Chains A and B, each alone.
Chain A
Amino acid sequence: MSKPSDLVQGTLDLLLLKILALEPLHGWAVSQRLKQVSGDILQVSDGSLYPALHKLEQEGWIKAEWKTSELGRRAKFYSLTRLGRRQLEKEAANWERLANAITSVVRLKEA
C-alpha cells in the first residue's frame, strides 16, 4: 500500500462531513469508510482524525452520541447537525468550484 496522498488543505472537514452525512459513525468507522470509498487513495491519519472530529463538534456541525458498536463495545457515534448540513453544502460547492478551476487549468492545451 502506497503512502496516501496528503489531503489538500482544508478538505478533511469536507470529507468528514460528507461521510457523516451518509450515516452516523464512530471515529474508527469514519477512517475505514473514507479509505474504502476513496479506493484507498484518501486516508486520514490516526493522529489527525480525532482533533478534526472534535473541532467539528465544537463548531456545532456534528454532534456525538454514545452507542453500542456493531462489535458490542460502547463507541462515540458522530452525526451531522442541521448546521453541519449547511456547512457541508457550502464546502462542497466551494470544492467543486476549486476543482473545476484546477481542472480547467490543467487541461489547457500547450501551444
Chain B
Amino acid sequence: MRLEHWFYTIPLRLRSLVHRKHVERELDEELQFHLAQRIEQEIAAGKTPEEARYAALRAMQSIEQQKERCRDTRRVAWIEEFFRDLRYAIRHLTKSPGFAAVAILSLALGIGANTAIFSLINAVMLRDLPVKNPGELVLLGDGRASGSSDDFARTELYSFPFYRQFRQKNRVFSSTSAVLSLLFKRMHGEVGNGAALESIDVQLVSGSYFSMLGVKPILGQSFTEADDHPAGGHPIAVISYSWWTRRFARNPSIVGKTVTFRSTVYTIIGVAPPEFFGTSVGESPDLWIPASMDKQISPGWNGFNDKMFEAFYILGRLKPGVTVAQAQANVNIVARQIWRSYAGAVLSKDQQQALAHAHIELTGMARGLSRVRGEFSKPLLILMAMVGLVLLIACANIANLLLARATARQREIAVRMAIGAGRARLVRQMLTESLLLAIIGGALGILFAFWASHALLGMVSSGPETLPINVLPDTRVLVFTVLVSLVTALLFGSAPALRATRIDLTPALKEGRGAVPQASRSRLANALIVLQVALSVVLLVGAGLFLQTLVDLNNLDTGFNKQNVLLFSIDPAGVGYKEDARLTNLYQRIEQKVGAEPGVRAASISFFTFHQGAWDGSVIVEGHTLKPGIANDVFHNVVGSGYFATMGIPLLAGRVFGPHDTANSPKVAVINETMARQFFPGASPIGRRFGLDSKHSADIEVVGVVKDAKYLSLRQKALPAAYYPYTQRPGYYNDFEVRYAGNKRAMIAEVRRAMAEVDRRLPVFYQNTLAQQVDQSISGASLVAQLSTFFGLVAVLLACLGIYGLMSYAVTRRTSEIGIRMALGAERSNVLWIVMRQSLLLAGLGIVIGLPVALGAEQLVSKMLFGVRPADPVSMAGAAMLLLIFALVAGYLPARRASRIDPMVALRCE
C-alpha cells in the first residue's frame, strides 16, 4: 500500500521539482482550456464574448489563486524554499569571505579532528571482523595473555591436544578453531627460489580456521581439518591479500608458488579476501600456515602434541539458539573433564587448587582480538572528549560571529518581518546558512580527517611500520561526521537565529541602530566568551596533566641506561642452526667479534630486552613456602655475559656471568633485588639455590644480584626477575644489543659488517635504539600528551579569536560613545582600561568557572588512566595565567584602537 503510494507520488514530486517550468506551463494550459470551454458555454447561452469572458473569469475566481492552490498540493514547496534559502545563503556568505573563511576553517578543523579520532575509535573499538555473522563468535578466556604457558588448567591459553578434545566434546559450538596466541613477526623466508631472505609475518592456525570464520579464499582454496594431522605433514600456506598485492603484484597464477622457512618448502594454496586481516585488530599476517607445522616454523616449540604446551586461543561459533551463558556452562564442564584427564590418578594439591579456581569466561569475538584495543581505548576516548570540547569552542565562536552579523542585519530582518515573513520561516532561512557552513566545514573536515587519521596511526604505531589498521572512513564514520556537522550547525546557528528574529519591530525600523535589545544580545555574546574560556581552561589543564605524566614516565628510573644502545635481531634458525653447541658458539663469536669493534663498549645476545614480550613462570626455592597462584612468578631472561654491561644494569652483589659458566659447569643465575627480597628474605641470596620445576627444584645457584630493571613496560611495578647464561640453556635467542659510542649510522653499518664476518648468511635486522624502544612503550601516553597540548593551544587560540572579535565589534559600536567620553575629557588610558576591563572580566569569569570543572574532569581521567598524577596547583595556575595573558593580548588590540579614536571623527559619524 505504502510502496504503491510512493510508486505514483515520488515521480510526481520529482517532476514538480526538476521540471518545474514544464509543470507550470501544463497547469496554465489546463486552466486556460477550462476557461475557454466556459466562455464557449456562456456565449452559447447568449452572452457577448466580452460578458462571457468576464463571467468565466469570475467563476474561476482568480486564476493565480487557483494556481497557487494547485501548487500547494504538490508538497514540494519546502524543498523549493530550501534551495532558495541555500542560494541566498551562498550569496550572503560570498559577500563576507572573511567571516566565511574563519567559520569554515574552524569547523573543518573541529569536525575533522572529531572524525579522525572517531575513525580510529571505529577501527580499533567498534568495527566488526569482516567474517560471516561475527556476532556468533566467542573466545575462550579474555584473550589478554599471549605466548605459551605450562600451568595446569590455564584458562586463557590452551594446548592443541586440548583443542582437539574440546572440539569433539563440546555441545554448544557449531564449529571451533584454534589460533596461535602470537604472530611470528619477521620470520625469514625465501619466496620461490629467491636468493634473498625476506621478512614475513606468519600466523599458525587450525585447519578449521577459515571455514569456521566463513572466509572464502578469492583464489585457490584454504585449509581443511585434514591439515590438523599428522604433525609436520602439511607444508601449505594461505596468503593475505595485502601481501599478495605487495609482494606478487596480484599475480593470478600465485597458487602453487612456494615459500621456504627453515628449509621447509610451503606451497601457497590460496589467497584470502581483501578485507580479511585475520582475527586480531592491529596485526596482519602475511600468511597463514596450519598449526601442525609449528615445530617446522618454530623449532623450539612443541605445541602440537604436548598437552601442557598452552599457546593457542580457541574460538567457537555458537550454535543457533545457544546463549553465551549456556555455552559458558558447557565449556567449563568439558574443560574440567579434559584437564582432569591430564592429571594423574591422584591430583596433587596444587592441581586440585588450580582446578577448583579454573573458570573459563567466554568473550565475544565479533570485533576480534586486539592488544591495541586494550592499550589505546582509554587514550582515544579521552582524546575524543577533548576534540569534542574543541568543536564546542569553535561553535561558540561562530555563534558569536553570527550574532554580530545578525545585529548588522537587524533592519533587513525587521523589514522582512514587517511585510509578513513568519519568524519560523526567517529562522529556517538563517539555519540554512548555518547548515551550509557546517556542510562545507564537514566536507573539508573529512578530507582533513583522511590525512589526520593516518598521521595519528603513525603516532600510535610502535616500530617503523604503521599498525596495519584500516582507518579509511566507512559508513559509520561518514554517518558520524554528517551527524556531528548537523548538530554543530544547530548548536552555533540556533541561538543567533532565535535571538535575531526576536525583535521589536518599531524601534528596529526606525533610524537608530541601538534601540534593539542590545543588552540581551551582548549578554549572550558574553556568555559564549565565558564558555569558551572555561572550556579552554579545562583543555589546558588536561594538556598540562598529560604532559606532566609523560615527563614523569620519561624521568622514571628504568633500571637500565637507555642511551647509546642499538637493538638488532638475528635469525640463526632461518639459516639452519640447531639448538646445540654450534649455536652457542655462534653467539659467543658474534659477541667477541662485535665487542672488539672500535666504538663498541659492550655487546650481548639476549632472549628479550625491554618491551618485547616475556617468559614468566613459577620457581621453587628451598626453604621458601609457596603461596598459590602467580605469587611465585618470576620473569626469566636468557642472556650473554655482557648483557648487564650493555644494558647498564648495575651489579649489587656477587658476580655476573663469565667464560667459566659453560654447558658443563654448575647452573647459575643472576637475580634482581626484588627476587632476592621476595624469595631470599633476610640473608644474602648469593650461593642459595632454586629451580624451575619440582624435578629440578634446586639445581640453579644464585651468583649475583643486580638492580631492578623494567621488563615489559615502564608502568609496571618492580617484579622478581632472574637471568640465566645462554651457554647453559641452548636455544634461539634472537636479540642482539650493542652499547656504543659515536655515530649511530656508522655503528649500525659496522655491526652488520662484523656480523657478516662471523656468518655471511645470518640474517641481521636493525630494530631500533633502546631509547626509541622505551619511547614506543609509552606511545599511548605521548599520543595523548602531544595531541592534548595541540588541541589545548587550538582552544586558547579560538577563545582569543572570540574575545578579539567581540571586543572589536563592541569598539566599533561604541565609537560615538567613546568619542563623547573623550570629548568630555576622558584620558586615552581610561578608554583603554574600559575596553580591557571587559575582556579581563570575561576571561577571569571563564577561568573561575573552568578551574573547578577541570578539577572534576581530572578526577575522572586519573581514574581512567593508570599512573596519571593529579595536576599540581602550579600547572593549574599556569593554565590560568596563560589564558589571562592571551586574553590581554586579544583585548588589547581593539582597546588600543578605541583609545586612538579621534573624538571629532567619532562624533561626526553618528
Contact = CB atoms under 8 A, between A and B. Distances in A.
Whether chains A and B associate is yes
A59 B74 CA distance: 9
Contacts of B552: none
Interface of B: 4-5, 7-9, 12-13, 26, 29-31, 33-34, 36-38, 56, 59-61, 66, 69-70, 72-75
Contact of A47 (B7, B9, B36, B61): B61
A75 B31 CA distance: 10
Given A46-B38, A46-B61, A60 B4 contact: yes
A63 interface: yes
Interface string A66-87: 1001000111100001110000
A10 interface: no
Contacts of B31: 50
Nearest to B31: A50
Contact of B34 (A46, A55, A74, A82): A46
Contacts of B7: 60
A5 interface: no
Contacts of A28: 33-34, 37-38
Contacts of A81: 8
A72 B74 CA distance: 29
A83 B5 contact: yes
Contact of A58 (B9, B26, B37): B9
Contacts of B34: 27-28, 46, 49-50
A38 interface: no
B4 A27 contact: no
Given A60-B4, A60-B7, A82-B4, A51 B37 contact: no
Contacts, number: 70
Nearest to B6: A60
Interface of A: 26-28, 45-47, 49-51, 54-55, 57-60, 63, 66, 69, 73-76, 81-83
A69 B75 CA distance: 29
Contacts of B73: 51, 54-55, 57-58
30 contacts: A26-B30, A27-B30, A46-B59, A46-B60, A46-B61, A47-B66, A50-B30, A50-B31, A50-B66, A51-B66, A51-B69, A51-B70, A51-B72, A51-B73, A57-B73, A58-B12, A58-B74, A58-B75, A59-B5, A60-B4, A60-B8, A63-B8, A69-B33, A74-B29, A75-B30, A75-B33, A76-B26, A76-B33, A81-B8, A83-B4
Contacts of B69: 50-51
Interface SS of chain B:
helix
Contacts of A74: 29, 33
A54 B31 CA distance: 12
A-B complex: 5 closest residue pairs judged by Cβ atoms? A60-B8, A51-B69, A47-B61, A28-B37, A46-B59
Nearest to B68: A51
A47 B12 CA distance: 23
Contacts of B66: 47, 50-51
A28 B30 CA distance: 9
A49 to B, nearest CB: 8
A28 B59 CA distance: 13
Contacts of B4: 60, 82-83
A5 B66 CA distance: 22
Contacts of A45: 59
B325 to A, nearest CB: 50
A83 to B, nearest CB: 6
A59 B59 contact: no
Interface-centre pick from B8, B26, B36, B66 (highest chain A CB count, 10 A) = B8
A95 to B, nearest CB: 21
B49 to A, nearest CB: 17
Nearest to A83: B4
Contact of B30 (A58, A63, A76, A82): A76
A73 B33 contact: yes
B381 to A, nearest CB: 49
Contacts of B29: 74, 76
Contact of A26 (B26, B33, B60): B33
Contacts of B70: 50-51, 54
Contacts of A47: 59-61, 66
B111 to A, nearest CB: 38
A50 B34 CA distance: 10
A1 to B, nearest CB: 11
